[in-house]
């Protein structure tokens, strides 16, 4: 898919992005399920690991799968490479295991992205599930330690 199509899709998805007001929380309770997701690559394959945690009991299961990588890497459009790799197994878990996650935690950016449409935003909108992005590297141009005072 060409970059202009990616830009159009990101702009359309951005209209659906909802971030709770400050102080609002998801309200994870004893029966809540949280999924953490990551992908590792080997040639044309993406290996997906999903840790399924019950918030109340701490019990968890791990699910693993692999799929062909659907797209090459393009800076700013990582969600189009990794999103489908994560979306399909989450949908499968929801259907086959009767799992309805209260939260997804994704190895990737959410709104800390040049167009606020990083992998976590993309996946959350695609699945209709609250999602938090926890990226390994910042896309922000700031360097060094943040100041102690907020702002």
The pLDDT score that the predictor gives to residue 151 is: 57
Q: Which has the higher per-residue pLDDT, 45 or 145?
A: 45
Instruction: Tell me the pLDDT of the chain averaged across its residues.
Output: 87
CA-to-CA distance for 80 and 77, rounded, in angstroms? Answer: 6
CA-nearest of 49, 48, 47, 45 to 69 is 45
Which three-class secondary structure state does DSSP give residue 98? coil
Q: What is the pLDDT of residues 86-145, one digit of tens each?
A: 999 999 999 999 889 999 999 988 888 888 888 999 999 999 999 999 988 776 666 677
Output the pTM of the full model: 0.83
pLDDT at 140: 65
> So what's the pLDDT on residue 65?
96
Q: Considering only CA atoms, which of 36, 136, 131 is closest in space to residue 89?
A: 36
């Amino acid at each position: 898919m060409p970059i202009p199509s990616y830009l159009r899709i990101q702009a359309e998805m951005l209209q659906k992005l909802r971030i709770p007001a400050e102080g609002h929380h998801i309200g994870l309770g004893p029966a809540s399920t949280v999924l953490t997701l990551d992908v590792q690559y080997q040639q044309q394959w993406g290996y997906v690991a999903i840790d399924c945690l019950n918030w109340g009991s701490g019990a968890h299961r791990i699910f693993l799968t692999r799929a062909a990588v659907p797209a090459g890497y393009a800076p700013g459009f990582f969600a189009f490479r990794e999103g489908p790799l994560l979306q399909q197994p989450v949908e499968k878990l929801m259907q086959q295991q009767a799992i309805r996650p209260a939260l997804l935690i994704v190895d990737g950016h959410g709104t800390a992205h040049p167009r606020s449409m990083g992998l976590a935003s993309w996946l959350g909108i695609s699945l209709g599930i609250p999602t938090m992005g926890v990226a390994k590297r910042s896309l922000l141009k700031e360097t060094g330690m943040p100041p102690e005072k907020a702002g």
